[in-house]
Structure 1
């Protein structure tokens, strides 16, 4: 059997720093040796991996049509075909009867990513049609490093032109005259910082805006009304918006409200009482945000009028605008809520069938549309696209994600339980299992997932692959720890900066609650998280390793102290608002106190699988590699410790739907081996 690779240990405070020397023979040889070791250790699970892959693939409808989106004279849609890694993009003439019936005899193939990808990596960034429906702008990342090339396709002739611009972040935004494109480029730290204006046919582009502050990211998008272009600048705590008439792309962007530290706001443009109006979501009167409006010609902050007041119990996460209504995306009690405000009627909440779920506005459709589309799913309910009639509140399920083969949603039970953290805070847990597993009253294998950063909410979601766990008697649970956004802005703030330990303590409390309830035991408990969630996994493994039997860390942010001291790396400076600036001595000590890499000690750890992407621009491959190297040299156990580096992928793993399923099959095979599950 292949021996575990032992990384060279250099002198100094960071003995594995040499693993950061990208593209050197020593580094590549080490990563390849780790990959070979993983394959050798899981060789006895080869048949299981293939069986799991086929099992998961067998639940997915391989040939399917997306729900068509009506826009102008066309229906736009995607079609997946068995054997293809990527969906193809099409359109056909919009039926006169208002239906969504696709006319295959008249359809037009707009883009085929399968032909573009070949056998390599491919990520489609922008896919944007000009207002006259004659041109398609799209962007492609062919390495996984999130650097895109820009293309324009003439949909009449089929001719494709690559735009001669480098270091693009993938954004492309059309002006209304169908000739001008706005795009964004990246600085040396991979931060979107410059907005350019390009007129088709020109060899060059005009620099429109440059954001010098390294904390701020730049983006550009169209307003809901299609009448305005919006330039958005945001750090983790502060924002600023500039606007431009979309009919006059050669004009100058105007600032809505100059940035003020800790003031976050975003703007959109629509109708209110028949008048063109700016809608502004702002936290100027409270951390859960309020909604303001301003006249079209006077968007400045001094002209804002309050429309929806700040509410201590409800977080205002977003606003969707249509001609006849505006729709609020709210969060209350750990759950998403949609509230519709018709122009000429009383507001109402959207009614839903489950106790714990995921819900968001998937598509506002055309601005004048009388309906919007919602995406709704639960741990035991496949995703549905629901059409909501804005005036009446009537809902219609237009499409439900199919599950091929035997599947009965009623055979599974979803629950919401609460753990008590060390400071008494109640932390929600969402879980799902087969009803007979829960009814048996005996401990079962349990897969506990967590994230807990950036205010992101892990709302319950359905997974075809997860059924392979549930059908083998697993319980699946999500720990909604502080640092996420599930219970509003205060929940996020209570898990960042000097409060980061709350994230780790909450996760441990969730694990302890699940064990105390008899749902699982430490010997059956597997934990998982990715990116900032990988930091969570690394931290709790150091703090309470005996609590867990196995851990999976996807592109884990485990070298946080060294990364945050290197301002030349992508994202570092803008991350100061999340983790703190380690150039300040007290912050340095605080991060050092929980950083997974620094706190590895000579203790027994559970079995661990770490996954990295060599081209990852967000969490560098060496974070996982250094972490695993130090664990191998320091730990006191002989449990399985594996590192898989996707040498042709980035932060999101390998592209293509089949390759992604193979990655899941690998992870499940690892879990089944270390937990002793057949």
Structure 2
């Protein structure tokens, strides 16, 4: 196929050889691989959506045969002309069909960008001899990494300018790591969005970027204490599984680097970090339900790794080192985790572990932050994250108080042991992100910075609520809400219901500058804390995975019905929104209860569950059998087939759709939403809108620039506002 597409729509297009999609009645969507006819598409066909050809592919498992008519859209190389032409045709269809909203999209873009302080900077933090921070310059897309020596009044040293490094690339993501002597820097860069980084090195004394590079690696890099050895993680080039830890010595050829550890079990991924004490390089080996940690003495980088505790079935743990002991956050005999302590050298026998914080049925222990005299525990109770400060000398303790009914709190950069100061972040659906310094002795809280909303923002103009819906089985599901003060609960409001519900990821209530453009136009925004996350403890996660996965979808539906019954919206005004596994969520819900929604927004959606989980060559598959189940087991296959969005598309009426993806997505491959769209176009019986937009330069996270990303948000908002007749 040879086709030339303009950015805004088709010019005259001549298609030769195999035709795999069509636009308009002039081209038969049933063309097969034997068809070599020549057809012409003109600009008069633009408002008729592309129709992908049906090329039957038999998929057999457990004696059952599925026919996948759109399997051909998969192209691991991402270079097939017919596949690219189809994606471009869909993009052109979106652009042309929504051309009447161009002015609205521009308006929303300007609104959101106009609220952002463009020349902004993070709150600096002190480490050893320098204050480190990132900052943005007006009009620029990417951060500048910088530091100042000793005092904040000192001369700025730019470590890395993301804007300069991004030149010539449509996508850019960077990460830095400073050596212990603070004179060398490693920096990792991704220019495709596929999370395959290249690492380079910079001499901070001279400014020279060294010639040696490390390719196809994770972004995380850890320096040994000798200032010349760095540890990094390589990825499998096909599955992108992080599976090997290597060490590199500055000034040597990377081809002579040493393999430190290789994880053979394909259900495990490999990560690296460093203890806060700088004593240990930590190698984390993690599957969905299991953990194993290996340690390397950071002062002896050539020493062999030692196992902290060998992996055990369904045992997850994380560690922190301080002086002569380790702290362990563990789910050993503790579903919601507990805190243990053990002397260095005795850790590989759990009989030596001493309990510090016991397991609690109603509290999930998520993390710890250790200081010389204090410890801060991040605990989740009744869906909300609490920060518990414990005095290690007298065991007295207290909680930091927060006022909002729903919020997000988190510990921030706390790199020193010998301090009474805790830095933490706080935000709610009405409170812009705020950074505090907290004196753990006096309980004095100092606001260091609150996200500025340019043009002004008055918190009293908005209302935040925490309410509960009742699920099909009687379970109470928390919902976090925000809307403009004075909003009438008459069922006429546009309502966005957002959910995720997978991997034990808790969706906290946070502030969004862009969301103001919806709230000011009368929208109600709801985050539903459905099972599959860990908002209500570990059991909340267990009850929303594997053979209980459908609880997640039923919870979302129950929350939608409750919100509508309370007058926050109606089926004519409600939009379901989710991304990645949240895209699976709204895709399943669209099949189950399409009549509840005006529209569906699905970003990078994981919708071809069965086919993907049967294919171990696809990134992330082998690591996720404990999340979704392995469909090579018939019980899981049969269960997945009852909810997989792609496999359950039917000939019936559906809501309006806006579906987005990234061509280079390494987590949910682009062909999943592409196939889903093609099947929806074939079978749906309504005349509602179905738009499919592919970012041809990005991956799972979408556009990388801070302003380019706003354009994607503006498209989503314009889609909803247009359907609601608003501007």
Instruction: Give distance in 2, aligned partners of 1:375 and 1:343.
Output: 23
Aligned to 2:671: 622
Question: Of residues 179, 194, 202 in structure 1, which corresponds to 2:244?
Answer: 194
8 A Cα contact 1:448 1:479, kept in partner = yes
Aligned to 2:401: 351
Q: CA deviation at 1:674?
A: 1.4
1:676 and 2:721 matched: no
1:87 and 2:143 matched: yes
Q: Deviations over 1:619-643 (max 9, x none)?
A: 0000110000000000000111000
Which aligned pairs between 1:512-523 and structure 2 lie closer than 5 A?
Answer: 512-523=561-572
Aligned to 2:517: 468
Which aligned pairs between 1:439-454 and structure 2 lie closer than 5 A?
Answer: 441=490, 443-454=492-503
Instruction: Give distance in 2, aligned partners of 1:517 and 1:585.
Output: 41
Aligned to 1:45: 101
Question: Of residues 99, 112, 122 in structure 2, which corresponds to 1:66?
Answer: 122
Instruction: Give distance in 2, aligned partners of 1:589 and 1:332.
Output: 35
Aligned to 2:540: 491
Relative to the length of structure 2, the TM-score reads: 0.90
Question: Of residues 288, 305, 317 in structure 2, which corresponds to 1:253?
Answer: 305
Instruction: Give distance in 1, aligned partners of 2:485 and 2:490.
Output: 11
1:536 and 2:589 matched: no
Instruction: Give distance in 2, aligned partners of 1:84 and 1:506.
Output: 42
Larger CA deviation: 504-513 vs 382-391: 382-391
Q: CA deviation at 1:226?
A: 1.4
8 A Cα contact 2:200 2:214, kept in partner = no
Aligned to 1:388: 438
Which aligned pairs between 1:300-319 and structure 2 lie closer than 5 A?
Answer: 300=348, 301-319=350-368
8 A Cα contact 1:149 1:163, kept in partner = no
1:33 and 2:78 matched: no
1:153 and 2:202 matched: yes
Aligned to 1:279: 327
Aligned to 1:56: 112
Residues 433, 165 of structure 1: alpha-carbon distance in 2 compared, 3 angstrom cutoff? same
Aligned to 2:295: 243
Larger CA deviation: 391-400 vs 558-567: 391-400
Q: CA deviation at 1:122?
A: 4.1
Aligned to 1:174: 223
1:18 and 2:72 matched: yes
SS of residue matched to 1:381 = coil
Instruction: Give distance in 1, aligned partners of 2:443 and 2:196.
Output: 42
Q: Deviations over 1:622-676 (max 9, x none)?
A: 0110000000000000111000001110000011001000110011111111122
Relative to the length of structure 1, the TM-score reads: 0.97
8 A Cα contact 2:528 2:556, kept in partner = yes
Structure 2 unaligned spans of 5+: 1-45, 58-66
Q: Deviations over 1:234-292 (max 9, x none)?
A: 10001111112211111111111111110111111014xxxx21011111111101111
SS of residue matched to 1:452 = coil
1:269 and 2:321 matched: yes
Residues 442, 496 of structure 1: alpha-carbon distance in 2 compared, 3 angstrom cutoff? closer
Aligned to 2:11: none
8 A Cα contact 1:242 1:253, kept in partner = yes
Q: CA deviation at 1:230?
A: 1.1
Query: Which aligned runs of 4 or more in structure 1 are off by greater than 4 angstroms?
Result: none
Question: Of residues 606, 620, 626 in structure 2, which corresponds to 1:557?
Answer: 606
Q: Deviations over 1:507-553 (max 9, x none)?
A: 00000000000111110001110000000010000000000001110
SS of residue matched to 1:462 = coil
Instruction: Give distance in 1, aligned partners of 2:714 and 2:497.
Output: 17
Instruction: Give distance in 1, aligned partners of 2:372 and 2:483.
Output: 43
Question: Of residues 703, 706, 718 in structure 2, which corresponds to 1:657?
Answer: 706
Structure 1 unaligned spans of 5+: 96-100
Q: CA deviation at 1:125?
A: 4.6
Aligned to 1:220: 272
Aligned to 1:293: 341
8 A Cα contact 2:212 2:251, kept in partner = no
SS of residue matched to 2:619 = coil
Aligned to 1:582: 631
Instruction: Give distance in 2, aligned partners of 1:406 and 1:414.
Output: 19
Instruction: Give distance in 2, aligned partners of 1:303 and 1:122.
Output: 50
1:374 and 2:424 matched: yes
8 A Cα contact 1:122 1:140, kept in partner = no
Larger CA deviation: 121-130 vs 1-10: 121-130
Q: CA deviation at 1:383?
A: 0.4
1:645 and 2:694 matched: yes
Q: CA deviation at 1:441?
A: 4.6
Q: CA deviation at 1:162?
A: 4.8
1:6 and 2:62 matched: no
Residues 162, 425 of structure 1: alpha-carbon distance in 2 compared, 3 angstrom cutoff? farther
Which aligned pairs between 1:423-438 and structure 2 lie closer than 5 A?
Answer: 423-438=473-488
Question: Of residues 334, 337, 346 in structure 1, which corresponds to 2:383?
Answer: 334
Instruction: Give distance in 2, aligned partners of 1:146 and 1:497.
Output: 27
Question: Of residues 178, 185, 189 in structure 2, which corresponds to 1:129?
Answer: 178
Q: CA deviation at 1:387?
A: 0.8
8 A Cα contact 2:276 2:415, kept in partner = no
Matched length: 666
Question: Of residues 198, 203, 207 in structure 1, which corresponds to 2:259?
Answer: 207
Aligned to 1:98: none
Q: Deviations over 1:300-322 (max 9, x none)?
A: 23321111111111000011112
Q: CA deviation at 1:369?
A: 2.7
Q: CA deviation at 1:201?
A: 1.2
8 A Cα contact 2:177 2:187, kept in partner = yes
